[in-house]
Structure 1
Amino acid sequence: MTQEITVGVKTELDKYTVLALVVSLVLYPLLYSLDFFSEFIFPLVAEGWPCSAFGDLPRLGWWSFWLGNFVYHWVPFLFVWFCLYKNKEAWSSIGVSLAWYVERKYWFIGVLGMLVLAAFVLPNIYYADDLPRSSQSIYFAAVSTNERLFMIVMALTTGITEEVLFRGFAFTRLKRVIDNPWFILPITLVSFLLIHGQPDNLGRSLYYIVGGCAFGIPFILMKMKRLEFLIVTHFFINVSLVLVP
């Protein structure tokens, strides 16, 4: 008998991969769904710090919510980056091509430029000089220019980190121990649901389960490649919060 060896492709889970999977698929979703950050971290911080630099004191809760989300997204992402770095694995190993973005950089720069312009123009169109205390569309949407600019950052954050964590890294690494990717999908759906809050509402839970399927199933059908398409789609969905009143 001969043993086939795939050069440069790992077929088992090393300690760095296990750590990144546990952080991204277990610890991060659990801590977020239990509201750990706002319950235990923010009360220890001097009141007003998240928004005093922006001059939006009445919107302290908004800044607290989104700055907490910013931290929650990038910390597990750093574990994935560290795993790839230690294992000398390329980003292409999780299905994303950085060159794809470079080739289309002018399109992305143009889109970002229009979004930044919208962030400056829309508050005046919607509210003139009388900014409301909350969005007229949904409670966590942006109101001021500073908030809309930060929402662009958050849309990039969620698009990149969530697709890397719950699609690219999760599927490609779990497939080393679970051969059928369709069995991996439910695992990622549970984690994806929990990072959007406590599953205490059936309608909202179904919304995120369907959303997880809408991203996870195409990734499976694309043979766990072309993650960049999902990142861009995710970004455009979330960046719509920049445009609403």
Structure 2
Amino acid sequence: MSTAFADQVVWITGASSGIGEALARAFAVAGARVVLSARRETELQRVAATLAGGAEHHIVLPLDLTATDTFPAAVATVTARCGHIDLLINNGGLGQRGFAVDTPLEIDRRIMEVNYFGQVGLTKAVLPGMIARGAGRVVVISSVVGYVATPRRSAYAASKHALHGFFNALRAEVHATGVRVTLVCPGYVRTEISVHALDSTGGRHAKMDTTQANAMSADVFAARLLSQIAAGRDEIHIGGREVWAVRLQRWLPRLTARILRRAKFS
């Protein structure tokens, strides 16, 4: 495990399960002090109790990514307790499983509020402190779907595409300040994102997709991600064969479109 994160303060959203939980464990093992955020405080406390260094060394900070007006106070709390923030891991988000024609616009807005505006809002709240220190890294957990939009995920794909636009621009803007930005595009990871995904009614999909069930574990993903963040990568792709879809989309878009029309997606 990399020692690049020893004694660093790492703030992770969506830390109550899945990739966020796995990243919390990995960063704690690497010696970081972890700030865990999500809506479910009891689940955050459960995760904190499992972290290396003991729960008392880390911070549980419940946060609703749609409540952007609370972000300045949350940043102030972390700064008061930790002094600064070395890494912000924008991981919290909502999945989707529903055809666009059946999905009311309010569901699209709900997904964008969490997946896009929540990430952007928290980043804007954290940035001034990083810029003042001349150091820090913002890590954004996007998706291969941020490049290749697949059926029944129209709003989800739109939110991920939007993240790429914003954070690619931000990377160029803040480079001279010493702040760095990393976009992460996972392929399939074994989490419950499909179980908790919103359907076209706004309810839970409540099914584990086969692709998710057979994917790499969140812990394996987290270990691979930490090593690549430590290497200072601007963009990271981790997954199985599905990550090649990014290159296929770039170089053979017409072929990609035909594949997407014919393939079956859960």
Larger fraction in helix:
1
- Structure having greater relative contact order (Cα 8 Å, sep ≥ 6): 1
Normalised by the length of structure 1, the TM-score is: 0.27
Q: Which has the higher strand share?
A: 2
- TM-score normalized with structure 2 length: 0.25
